[in-house]
Structures are given as structure tokens and as C-alpha cells.
Structure 1
Amino acid sequence: MSRRRSLAAFAVTALLFGGTFVAAKAGLEQLPPLLFLALRFDLGAAVLAGYAAVRLSRSELRPETVGDVIGILATGGLVVGLTNALLFLGQQTTTSGVAAIVFSLNPILTVAIAAWVLPNGRPTFLGVVGTLLGLAGIVVVAGPEAALTGDAGGVLLLAAGAVSIAVGTVLLRWAEPTLSSTARTVWGVPLAALLSHAASVAAGESVAAATFGPTALLAVAYVGVGSGAVAYLAYFALIDGVGPQRANLVFYVVPLVSTVGGWALLGESVGTTTLVGFGVVAAGFSIVLADDLGADGLRRLVGRGSGGTENAPDADPPRAD
């Protein structure tokens, strides 16, 4: 994946995942959480099935190695299914600020897990500094008091969700599946749908308790198609292209998108503290990006390389994760 395509995938993932917090908050007012999640994945699975029928052959969809099976289970069971179940459940009893803080632990958790599991997974000093600075910015955006206002059980559920996605993304890299990220997503989202329906039934949720008003239907449509199909195609392609450590930096940008979405769509206020936090996050992300690409990589990224490499962002091989 070229660096420019990686940045495009990063932007799409951040934008669509960021809207999930806004849509989920609206939908949870009318739908039981696990049923809401199951409906989301039903819709996402249908969209992905149609996409696969047009764009993928049977051989491209057929798992052939143990790594492929592990990749599908990690995708549907951990990264998509369990992570979102814990997010939807945790968001019932916590503020969006708390959810942003806790889920932004994901990049740090990913780096820590990758350091133990993946070869050459140890982060650089500047990478650690940039990551911690980004986390500090998220705390500023959410407000330091937010950590004290959430229900302890909800916070624990969100923390478990952050662990789930970190473990799942590192496991995807470790398994080295031969299936493409698109094929794994086509398999994984229906698996997440089945698991979500089973969890909804086990929790005693009822369709009769749901209110399928315009807000709920719009929320299901968004999290099903936008952040349930398109975003996952971009996200898993990003993991394959740049590795889980760098891909999960997207979760520093997601809360910023959620904050802007809440302001624009839900009338939530954005104060000076939020703007300062945005600046801190941008500084941390810039440090990580600069450390990752290096001076030559940054020049190529903006099209100012020398020796005829202006349009060749991938002239150098990607750095190992």
C-alpha cells in the first residue's frame, strides 16, 4: 500500500469510526445494545456480500491456511464482534468523553502487545513520546473530570473493548493470513452478526423493547453501512499495509471526529479546552508520523522528493513493524 493510499484509508477509517460514537449514542436511546449491534452487523454483512459477489472470486474468498482461519476468527470474533459489544454496553453508563479516553488507550496497548508478539515490534523513543502526547490530548479534549464521572462497570467494559481490538489486530499480523483484508472482512462481519444475535438472546433482549423510529433506523444504517462495512474494509487494509501499531493510531483521531460530530449534529458545545486538546493530539500524531517516515519519507509524501521521486511515495521499502 502506498503512503498516500495509507493516508486515504486512515482518513476514511477515522471519519467513519468517529461517527460511530454519535450514531451509537442516538441509537441506544431506542434500541437494546446487543440487538442494535446485531442489526448493524446484519446490514453490514449484506452490503459486504453484495460487494464480494461483484468484486471477489471464490478462490479469493476460500480460506486455505491455518493463518486464514485465525485471521477470520480474530476479525469477526475480536476486532469487530467483541470490541463493539463491549463498546455498546459500556457506552450505556458512561459519557462519550470517558469512552474516548478509554478507547484511546488502544494504540498504547497495541504497541505493548506487539512488542511481545511481533518481531521488530519494539517502539522507538519518539514513537512512545508521540503516542503518550496524543493520549494526553484526548484527556484534554474529553476533560480531566470525565474520568471521574463514568460508571466504574462501564469504564471496565470499555477498557476490555480496547484490549480486545489491540489483541485482535496484533493477532492478525502474527497469523500472516493469505486471505486479503477484504476477504477477511467479508467473512468476519457475518461472524460478528451471529455472535451478536446469540449474545442478545442470551442477555434476554427483546425486539418488542425496541423503538424503530427514524433516529434508530438512521443510526442502524450508518453504523451498518458506513462504520460497519466501508470503514472495516479501509481499516483492515490499513493494518495489512502499515501494521497494527501505526494503523491503531487512528483511534487518536476518532474522538476528535466524534466531538465535531456531536457539536454539528447533537448540539454539543466545543470549548477552548477542546481546541487545545486537538492541538496536543495533532502534535503527538505529527511526532509519530515524522518518526515513522523520516525526513526523506516526509518529502516524498508532499511530493518534494529529489531525483525524480516526487510521484513515488513507495520508493523505499516499508519499515518493518
Structure 2
Amino acid sequence: MKGSSFLTGTRRTLALFTVASVFFGGTFVAAKAGLEFFPPLLFVALRFDIAAVALLGFVAATTPRDELRPRSFGDVVGILATGVFVIGLSNALLFVGQQYVSSGVGSIIFSLNPILTPVFAMVFLANERLSARGAVGMLIGLVGVALVVQVDPSNLLGGDAAWKGVVFLGAAIGALGTVIIRWAETSISSTVRTAWALPVSAALTHSLSLASGESMAMVAWTPSAIAALGYVGIFAGAVAYIAYFGLLDEVGPIHGNLVFYAVPIVATLGGAALLGESISASTFTGFVIIFLGFAVLASESILAEVEAWYDILVSTIQSTN
């Protein structure tokens, strides 16, 4: 069944997972670097401008015209969920929070996405349920994230904890959006849906930027600023979104969002190599625990695949005898 397992063994699924992981991981590094030159919401809005132009051009050149138009209410819901929740608000909150949070820590907090997705799926999706093994994996991951965030009950409304909370809210909104997309059962391809959604995201974040008092006069147009914007617009924007939403269509939101467990590797290594960021012992410990949770989750899918191949092998042997 479509979406029944995370690792289906197909080259396409693994390729989508790899591209989304690498380019999304680079987002946290480029965002942290670019925030020196851009106000956060305007940075996000300009990112979506570039990604929208690139992806709309790609779609127009490669997709038959009759496949470009939304054809149902579900298509419209899927586009709005993508543009407003998964791309727009999720990234706006991430960029605002990452002014005060390192790229590695920000990416690890965002890895809560797979833990939050099943919670929303239980409400919206009758056929997307988490098994006991999956629940254990999610809980292990949650413990790891708690270590990373290092929430101090006496300082919940101030310091780094508040900004980590902003990043967390972005992860939650993104998780909700992916489940709504699945619920909507859109008939258009994920690439076309994303091409329609990016202008929605751009309009939303430009509005938020204007409302917060940001302006183009606040941008410092340096080569580093242009490089950061180009990366988050093209590679972490158009290309990564094609891979990510294609992956969601392949395996569903619960398993597709496990891509965010791989993202912190790229973000942490990139932040250390390019930005000189360090990572504390407790953060590293939390990082390891998060991946232990991922291993528990992935083992369920791998075992299911092994059992399926075993059944096929047994049936083949029996049919030849």
C-alpha cells in the first residue's frame, strides 16, 4: 500500500530522501549566515520569490498544460496547506527563531516534526496510525529533543528557550500541514502543487515582513548575502521542495517526515565547518538519542519489507514445486 513503509527499497524513494535531507540540512546553515544581512521575514519572503520563479518555470516547461490546473476542492486545500503551513509559516518561524539559535540546534528541534506528525495524523487520517514500536521510537526521540532544547522551567519565557520554542512551533505547524495535504487527497502532482503554493508562501511572508516593519533598506547586499539567498531559494527551495513533497506522496507524512531526523547531520557538520559553531555535550547526547528513536522507527519498516520479500520468496518456491 502506498505510504505503508518508509524505506521501500526503490531508488526513487532513497534519492528523494537523500536530496531533501542534504538540501534542507543546508538551509539551517545558510539561514544562520544570511540572517547577518537580511531581516528574518524578508529573508524568507525573498527566498520564496526566487523558489517560486524557478519552480514555476520548471513546471511550465515540463508539465502538460491540462495537468497544471487545480481540479478539485482537495487540490485547493492541498495548495493552501502547503503554501500557508508547510512552507510559509513553518519557515517564517524557523528564520525568526534561528536569529538566536545555532543551525545545529535549530535543525535538531525541527526534527520534532516526525514526532508531531502522528499526533495530527490520528485526528485527520484514518489509515495513518502509529504502532506500539513506532510510539516507543517517537518517545525516545522526544527525550532526545528535550536534552537538546535544555528547557529550564524557571526561564521558559526568556533567553534561548523562548526562541527554541519559536522553532518548535514552526516544526509543529509544518507537521500539521503535511497531514492536511494527505487528508486532502489532491489529484495534481506534488511538483505542481508546490509551484502553486510557493507564491502563496511568498505573499504571506511579504505581508508578515511589512507588518513587522521590515524593509529592503535593511538588507546588506554582500556576496555572502547573495550566496545565502541563492542557496535557500534554489537548492533548499525549489529543488528540495520537489524532493520533499515527492517523498510525502510516495510514503505518506508519518514516514516521509523522518527526513528531518537526517537533516541535523548536515546542519551540524555544516555549521561547524562554515560558521565555527560548537555543540555541547548534552546536545550531542540528545542528538544520539534522537537517532536511536529513528532507528526504532525505521526497524519496523525494514522488518516489514523483509517479511514481504520472504513471503514473495516462499510463494515463488511453492509455485515452482
Q: Taking structure 1 as the reference length, what is the TM-score of the superposition?
A: 0.85
Worse-superposed segment, 249-258 or 39-48: 249-258
Counterparts of 2:117 and 2:194, CA distance in 1: 20
Identity %: 50
One-letter amino acid of the counterpart of residue 32, structure 2: K
Alpha-carbon distance between aligned partners in 1 of 2:313 and 2:152, rounded to the nearest angstrom: 48
Aligned residues of 1:75 and 1:185 also touching (Cα < 8 A): yes
Q: Is the 8 A contact 2:114 2:258 kept in 1?
A: yes
Instruction: Sort the Cα spacing of 1:295 and 1:63 in 2 relative to 1 into closer, same or farther, 3 A.
Output: closer
2:266 to 257, 261, 269: 257
| Residue of 78, 91, 96 corresponding to 2:98 | 91
2:283 aligned with 1:283: no
Q: Which moved more, 1:243-252 or 1:148-157?
A: 148-157
CA offsets, 1:27-46, max 9 Å, x none? Answer: 00110111111111111111
Is the alpha carbon distance of 1:231 and 1:155 closer, same or farther for their aligned partners in structure 2, counting shifts above 3 Å?
same
Report what 2:136 is aligned to: 129
Deviations 1:285-308 (A, max 9, x none): 2221121242544896xx9x8479
* Unmatched tracts of structure 2, length 5 or more: 3-7, 317-321
Residues 150 and 123 of structure 1, relative CA distance in 2, 3 Å threshold: farther
- Cα distance in 2 between the residues matched to 1:186 and 1:176: 17
CA contact under 8 A between 2:35 and 2:43: conserved in structure 1? Answer: yes
RMSD (Å) for aligned C-alpha atoms: 2.7
Paired residues for 1:104-253 under 5 Å: 104-138=111-145, 142=148, 144=150, 150-253=159-262
Task: Report which stretch shifted further, 226-235 or 7-16.
Answer: 7-16
The answer to whether the Cα contact below 8 Å between 2:120 and 2:179 also exists between their aligned partners in 1 is yes
Deviation at residue 144 of structure 1 after TM alignment: 4.1
Partner residue, 2:65: 58
Deviates more, 1:83-92 or 1:279-288: 279-288
- 1:49 match: 56
Comparing 129-138 with 174-183, greater Cα deviation is found at: 129-138
Query: 1:102 and 1:48, CA in 2 relative to 1: closer, same or farther beyond 3 A?
Result: same
Measure how far apart 1:279 and its partner are: 4.3
| Residue of structure 2 equivalent to 1:313 | none
Distance 2:104 2:278 in 1: 13
Deviation, 1:97, is: 5.3
SS where residue 99 of structure 2 aligns? Answer: coil
| Matches of 2:242 and 2:285, distance apart in 1 | 32
Q: Gaps spanning 5+ residues in structure 1: where? A: 310-321
Deviation at 1:269, TM superposition (A): 3.8
CA distance 1:53–1:97, shift in 2 (3 Å): closer
Secondary structure of 1:121's aligned partner:
coil
> Which 10-residue stretch deviates more, 66-75 or 46-55?
46-55
- Counterparts of 1:146 and 1:240, CA distance in 2: 39
May I ask how many residue pairs the two structures share in their alignment? 305
Task: Report how far residue 17 of structure 1 moved.
Answer: 0.7
Equivalent residues of 1:16, 1:227 under 8 A apart: yes
**SS, match of residue 30 in structure 1:** coil
SS at structure 2 position matched to 1:3: coil
Alpha-carbon offset, residue 239 of structure 1: 0.9
| Alpha carbons 2:25, 2:107 under 8 Å: kept | no
SS of corresponding position for 1:151: helix
**Counterparts of 2:242 and 2:270 in 1: how far apart (Å)?**
22
Find the residue that maps to 2:214 and give its secondary structure: coil
